[in-house]
Amino acid sequence: MPSKHDRYKSKYTVDRQVPGAFEGETITRRRFMTGTAHTAGAVAAASFTLPALGLALAPVFEREPHRWEIAGPVDMFPDDNYIPVVVTLAAGIGQVGKTTVYVRKHNAALDTDAYDRNPRTHPFIALSDRCAHAGCPVRWVPAAERFACPCHGGVYDILGRRVGGPPPRPLDRFFTRVSKQGLVEIGPRYSVNSELKPFSPRGPGEPLDGLGQYLYPAQFDERK
Ligand code: FES
């Protein structure tokens, strides 16, 4: 006969005098059934929660390598005017995957801000035609040296900085480089704040000054 102390300490249900206990049993059948039911419930919940979570989060981690797109020979681009070129951002989806980029050569008199004044890192300036307000295509007006948006009257200066209308930040930009063959190539898109400080790509309507830079997640899919 186990002592009172053994009765509470023993791992065997018989020693603990659990009603209906079997010899050698260490867990009550009630507890075993409860544990089994909880485990089955957790497996069932995970079977439909995890796939949904995976689908929701996959685009955040899925990032296709960017293709550098040829814009044209270096001589094609002046340093005081933009030339529009069409590049493919996402291959295989036709016109939807293409966009217009306004390209000009680096100009030491114009590109004086801290982030693009080095012509070795920014040999060409390439601005997105997508308005930073709601994404309408802007148009370069050489006589006024302005980009104009037809949708809500957004206006940008020659550097792509907002000078009128509702856009919350400057026009997005693209990295550029010159190939060994003397061709200007367009790289990944990036966004800039009002000081032209670069940030990872943001969507239309998302400001990058002040708190805005922390409120909106970066976009890595160029089709967005
Ligand atoms: S989309 Fe350009 S100003 Fe609204």
pTM across the whole model: 0.69
For 204-224, the DSSP string reads TT---STTHHHHS-----TT-
Is the CB of 204 inside a 6 Å radius of any atom of ligand 1? no
Confirm or reject: Cβ of 168 under 6 Å from ligand 1: no
Distance CA 224, CA 221 (A): 6
Residue nearest to ligand 1 atom 1, measured at CA = 134
pLDDT in tens, 47-102: 767 766 665 555 555 555 668 999 999 999 999 999 999 998 877 777 778 899 99
Residue 206 CA: distances (Å) to CA of 47, 71, 214, 219: 36, 28, 10, 11
Ligand 1 centroid to Cα of residue 5, in Å, is 79
Length of the chain as a residue count: 224
Distance 69 CA to ligand 1 centre (A): 27
Average pLDDT over residues 194-221: 82
pLDDT at 223: 42
Q: 205 C-alpha vs ligand 1 centroid, how far in Å?
A: 9
Name the E strands within 89-211. 98-105, 124-128, 139-141, 146-148, 155-156, 162-164, 173-178, 183-192, 198-199
Query: What's the CA dihedral at 114, 82, 191, 122 to 10 degrees?
Result: -40
The pLDDT value given to residue 52 = 66
The Cβ of residue 44 has, within 10 Å, a number of other Cβ atoms equal to 10
